[in-house]
Amino acid sequence: MAGHAGMSPGMGADAPVSTGASPETLPPGCQGASTAWPWPQPLAGAHCARLHFAVDALSAADLSPWQVALPERLASAATKRRAEYLAGRLCARQALGALTGIPETPQTDSERLPLWPAGCVGSITHSQGLAASVVAERSRLAGIGLDAEGELDPARALRLAPQILVESEREWLASLPPAQQAAFVTQVFSLKESLFKALYPLVRQRFYFPHARLVEWQPASGAVALELGKTLSPQWPAGRRITGQVARVDGYHLTLVTIPRQS
């Protein structure tokens, strides 16, 4: 997502973000922290943390008690960008603490991807005041992709659909009742973001919305599958299928794509 250093996925209760400060406290601007596994299917050994944040309060907060600091490149960034980075790192720190027993704050590599501790793999997301992270042992998973999105307005979803969806997905969209269409476009967008986050660290080759397509979508069970439309490496040819999960949490769509170790 492993030894179960914390709560088992799918069985955990809500809990505050554990930090270098008092475990009962949250940084200014943060609330609603949870370690509950949000997807229908538990993933052995994986840990998730999420929280809600207020941009202005968090971006101005001193997070040294939580051992989270802005990198120099973000010192003059927009308030929203600073808050998103801090909230994401707080979640990653909490999730890593549950996984390994040692809360750590991931730094960034030369491509601005999170640098996970040795033996760990993970993903971070933030969207409209929500941040989350999922981590697991690298011996179990080769890659993790996590994304959160607020549901697109129905008119905007239809306007963006040609940019996000390939032909088979557009046909699928047209077959759905109008009430489901915005959720479908939002989730396909989010799943392709999660797929990129899971695969790019492995292949180091960029790919875009037209290079993958949804081939399984079961909203009731949360099960999904994507198929590559472009060869990214000998191990990742066009036609390769990758499974994932979707969930609705606090009004957001959360998508998760994982790459098993044997891949």
pLDDT tens per residue, range 59-107:
999 999 999 999 999 999 999 999 999 999 999 999 999 999 999 999 9
Q: In which residue are the tokens 């922290």 written?
A: 33
Class level of CATH domain 151-246:
alpha beta
Structural contact between residues 105 and 92, judged by C-beta atoms closer than 8 angstroms? yes
Question: pLDDT tens-digit profile of 117-148?
Answer: 999 999 999 999 999 999 999 999 999 999 99
Q: How confident is the model at residue 25 (pLDDT cuts 50, 70, 90)?
A: confident
pLDDT on residue 262 = 75
| The pLDDT of residue 103 | 93
Q: Is residue 131 within 8 Å of 84, Cβ to Cβ?
A: yes
The CATH number of domain 30-139 is 3.20.190.10 = no
Q: Which two tokens stand for residue 35?
A: 């370690």
12 has a pLDDT exceeding 80: no
Distance CA 78, CA 69 (A): 15
| Rounded (5°) CA angle 135-137-138 | 110
DSSP state of 210: G
SS3 at position 161: helix
- Worst-scoring range by mean pLDDT, 2-11, 46-55, 113-122, 175-184? 2-11
3-class DSSP state of 259: strand
For the chain, where do the domains classified as CATH 3.90.470.20 start and end? 30-139
10 pLDDT higher than 90: no
Q: In terms of C-beta distances under 8 Å and separation of at least 24 residues, what long-range contacts does 237-244 make, across chains too? A: 241/215, 242/195, 242/198, 242/199, 243/216, 244/145, 244/191, 244/194, 244/195
How large a percentage of the chain has pLDDT more than 90?
86
pLDDT for residue 27? 94
Cβ-proximal residues to 187 (8 Å cutoff; 6+ apart), any chain: 149, 217, 224, 246, 253, 255
Q: Higher pLDDT residue, 2 or 261? A: 261
Which distant-in-sequence residues (6+ apart) come within 8 Å of 75 by Cβ? none
Residue 34 — very low, low, confident or very high, per pLDDT cuts 50/70/90?
very high
